[in-house]
Structure 1
Amino acid sequence: MTAVVDDVGSSGAGYLTDERLAIQAMAREFAAKEVLPVANELDPVKGEIPMELRQKMAELGFFGVLIPEQYGGLGLGVFEYALIVEELARAWMSVSSLIARGQQFTAGFTEEQRREYLPRMAAGDFLSAFALSEPDAGSDVAALSTRARREADGWRISGQKMWCTFADGADYLQVFARTSPIDRDHRSRGISCFIMPKPRGELPSGVTGTPVRKIGYHGWKTWELSFDNAYAAGDSMVGPEGEGFKVAMGDLETARIHTAARAIGVARGALEDSVAYARQRVQFGRPIGDNQAIRFKIAHMATEVEAARSLMYRVCTEVDAGRRNTVEASMVKYLATEMAERVTSEALQIHGGAGYTTDFAVERYWRDAKLTKIFEGTSEIQLKIISDSILGRQAR
């Protein structure tokens, strides 16, 4: 498999301070030495991210990048978070996704919950699995039907959940369920969010599941879950009752920037591997990188990666400055993920028949790039958000 080569482009002029460059270099070295070899070994056989690797990530503070220092985190911004995510995704997208399990979707935590949970999250000891989507409620989150019934000292949750990645390996499930019936005029009301702690490596009592047979995003399992009167403690609710939709939507700017960074990392991996392969692969007595068709492909790929990264840097800067950038976050998520699918497809083409084997990492980047267009809101959802901001919302 191809080794890491120097990043193509990525000057980052005006954005990359000495501190950020040091963070980027640290993450890049870790990804090359610790993550990429593991990915190349385990992804082809659908092996799981080793616990030892998770511990090394915790020791570097990766699970607490966004968590304030007073709670044991690094207290850094979305910009630094995106830098680290891109580097990890260049090696294995699943690992770059794992770090979100300690610091995203905490909107709505009370101060008491922050004191209790955030230090453990920053240490990598309290990682989450997000149980939101359902068989009939994917992009339409407000359509979810899982119910939470109040009892004397807590809640009983019943219903179905889909696409719950890391449900077994996590330390808790973050579960969204209806605590009141659907209001047809205000469909998002009545959804509440619950924290459901559990033993690592198991599903909670009252929850059964079946792993989804997915084509990529290996390194961990993604689950279809059934809740049958599963218990949630009385103090487990995140945010006010009935306002779980706001909790789910509260971190979407960060989540979409996170996905953009993942897409850029995946695309960069495919690009760098293609550059190395074009120099090594000889046909008709010459490296295929001497052929203009290949050279122009690589030039176009590099330009697309750099364009997406530049937009991501700008959006991160705005978010870290405290300026709301919901639409721009959708833009960078859309641009970067669409780019990643194109770039990884071209990379596979450059590798020819070799690219269609599991002997080269490029097929992993190709499979994972497709997923970036689907989760955290599909490309079509991003286009709706963007167009609504320009033209106004369509009448019902």
Structure 2
Amino acid sequence: MSTHSETRPVTFLTEDRLAIQTMVREFVAKDVLPVANELDPVQGEIPMELRDKMAELGFFGILIPEEFGGLGLGVSEYAIVVEELARGWMSVASLIARGQQFAHGFSAGQREQYLPRMARGEFLSAFALSEAEAGSDVANISCRAEREADGGWRITGQKMWCTFADGSDYLQVFARTEPVDPAHRSHGITCFLMPKERGTLPAGVTGNPVRKIGYHGWKTWELAFDEARVEPGMVVGEEGRGFRVAMGDLVIARIHTAARAIGLARGALEDSISYAATRVQFGRPIADKQAIRFKIADMATRIEASRALLHRVCADHDAGAPRDQLNLQASMVKLHATEMAEHVTSEGIQIHGGAGYTTDFAAERYWRDARLTKIFEGTSEIQMKIISDTLLGR
């Protein structure tokens, strides 16, 4: 039984998009789910072979223009791919963003140099923005960069929550290059690129993996910068205006998170349907029990509602809707989909009963990862503030 609508208005799921969806769905079933089921319970890392297959399929270049070797597709296609990948393993769905997000601040020369490598999956990023005292309060960062005589920089300070710091090809680091202006706290932050070898941290950078409860497949790091060198020409965007770089892709980032949340919820729903059909209690499959049937009905309806909103936001984005409208819509879909995902994945564990509380089934993985979607890319509370401020004024 399919849990994903097969009949859709051609306004969104065109033949080309359906072909993409089918291709990714087959890839997930064959290459992602078996790996996730084996490695996530033991906190193993995404294999390089899987990353290479994703690169061959063009997943790292979905949003990168064709002139730079990407696919030149829209956010709509991106969301379709992300949902399918997250249905298998959210970390894999997250990995594809490391090749195509945050490039909007690049100069023409940086785009020419880096985007083709990003599209091939050869130049993947780790985002070093947050700090222990600067979670949602991004403007509160204290990590500092001092200019050197040759135009390079030295970075000193601490960073938190830098996922993929070791496996990436470069760090994107945000540091203060000017004193804090109390009236404009976001001013004076600069974005830097720090290329490095995969499997290592840059010279002058040390770190410890965060002991997280989910989001396995890669490590998330606490980093210490001790006069770490940044070469000349590695500033992204305007010096002192790195906050714009950090915030510039939040619409796509929140669409990405909503799609991940929907994929997780769909995994919980589909696994629950399968389990309920085979789990027998009191002489009958539990799928015959009204309590279970109503849970399934509620889960499916919530997923469909979130997906419909996601597709609306994606279509508006690709049609060139005004930025203010997209900021509002992206917060709405991020809020709705992630809250939905936590509920649906929790219900998935309930349907699995005691088995759902073991690592023998993927139900607990979907639940652990769904809980994170309510936190990163702006917490649910941040989204509600954005939405209410937009509708009611600050």
Structure-to-structure mapping, 1:11-50, within 5 angstroms: 11-13=7-9, 14-50=11-47
Which amino acid in the other structure matches residue 7 of structure 1?
T
Q: 1:59 & 1:387 partners in 2: Cα distance?
A: 43
Identity level (%): 74
> 1:342 maps to which residue?
343
Which amino acid in the other structure matches residue 175 of structure 1?
V
Q: 1:216 & 1:10 partners in 2: Cα distance?
A: 32
Please state if 1:263 is matched with 2:264: no
The 8 Å contact of residues 160 and 225 in structure 1, kept in 2 or not, is answered as: yes
Q: 1:264 & 1:253 partners in 2: Cα distance?
A: 17
> 1:358 maps to which residue?
359
The 8 Å contact of residues 10 and 306 in structure 1, kept in 2 or not, is answered as: no
Q: 1:12 & 1:186 partners in 2: Cα distance?
A: 47
Equivalent of 2:5 in 5, 9, 16: 9
Q: 1:388 & 1:179 partners in 2: Cα distance?
A: 30
Q: 2:190 & 2:345 partners in 1: Cα distance?
A: 39
- Return the offset for 1:77: 0.2
The 8 Å contact of residues 66 and 78 in structure 1, kept in 2 or not, is answered as: yes
Residue 162 of structure 2 aligns to a residue in which SS?
strand
TM-score, normalised by the number of residues in structure 2: 0.98
The 8 Å contact of residues 131 and 173 in structure 1, kept in 2 or not, is answered as: yes
Q: 2:8 & 2:362 partners in 1: Cα distance?
A: 26
Q: Deviations for 1:145-198, whole angstroms, at most 9, x for unmatched residues?
A: 000000012000000000000000000000000000110000100000000000
Structure-to-structure mapping, 1:189-268, within 5 angstroms: 189-268=187-266
- Return the offset for 1:233: 1.1
Which amino acid in the other structure matches residue 201 of structure 1?
G
Which amino acid in the other structure matches residue 76 of structure 1?
L
Equivalent of 1:117 in 114, 119, 139: 114
Please state if 1:92 is matched with 2:89: yes
Please state if 1:183 is matched with 2:177: no
The 8 Å contact of residues 3 and 300 in structure 2, kept in 1 or not, is answered as: no
- Return the offset for 1:8: 3.6
Paired residue total: 389
> 1:284 maps to which residue?
282
The 8 Å contact of residues 12 and 310 in structure 1, kept in 2 or not, is answered as: no
Residue 75 of structure 1 aligns to a residue in which SS?
coil
> 1:81 maps to which residue?
78
Residue 105 of structure 2 aligns to a residue in which SS?
coil
Q: 2:164 & 2:233 partners in 1: Cα distance?
A: 24
Please state if 1:302 is matched with 2:303: no
The 8 Å contact of residues 169 and 201 in structure 1, kept in 2 or not, is answered as: yes
- Return the offset for 1:6: 3.2
TM-score, normalised by the number of residues in structure 1: 0.97
Q: 2:86 & 2:52 partners in 1: Cα distance?
A: 18
Q: 2:344 & 2:275 partners in 1: Cα distance?
A: 15
Q: 1:133 to 1:11 in 2, by over 3 A?
A: farther
Q: 1:68 & 1:20 partners in 2: Cα distance?
A: 18
Q: 1:239 & 1:349 partners in 2: Cα distance?
A: 48
The 8 Å contact of residues 137 and 144 in structure 1, kept in 2 or not, is answered as: yes
The 8 Å contact of residues 82 and 258 in structure 1, kept in 2 or not, is answered as: yes
- Root-mean-square deviation over aligned CA pairs: 0.8
Alignment gaps of 5+ in structure 1: none
Q: 1:387 & 1:180 partners in 2: Cα distance?
A: 32
The 8 Å contact of residues 9 and 302 in structure 1, kept in 2 or not, is answered as: no
> 2:313 maps to which residue?
315
Residue 260 of structure 2 aligns to a residue in which SS?
helix
- Return the offset for 1:11: 4.1
Which amino acid in the other structure matches residue 16 of structure 1?
L
Q: Deviations for 1:108-155, whole angstroms, at most 9, x for unmatched residues?
A: 100100000000000000000000000000100000000000001200
Residue 371 of structure 2 aligns to a residue in which SS?
helix
Please state if 1:134 is matched with 2:134: no
Residue 40 of structure 1 aligns to a residue in which SS?
helix
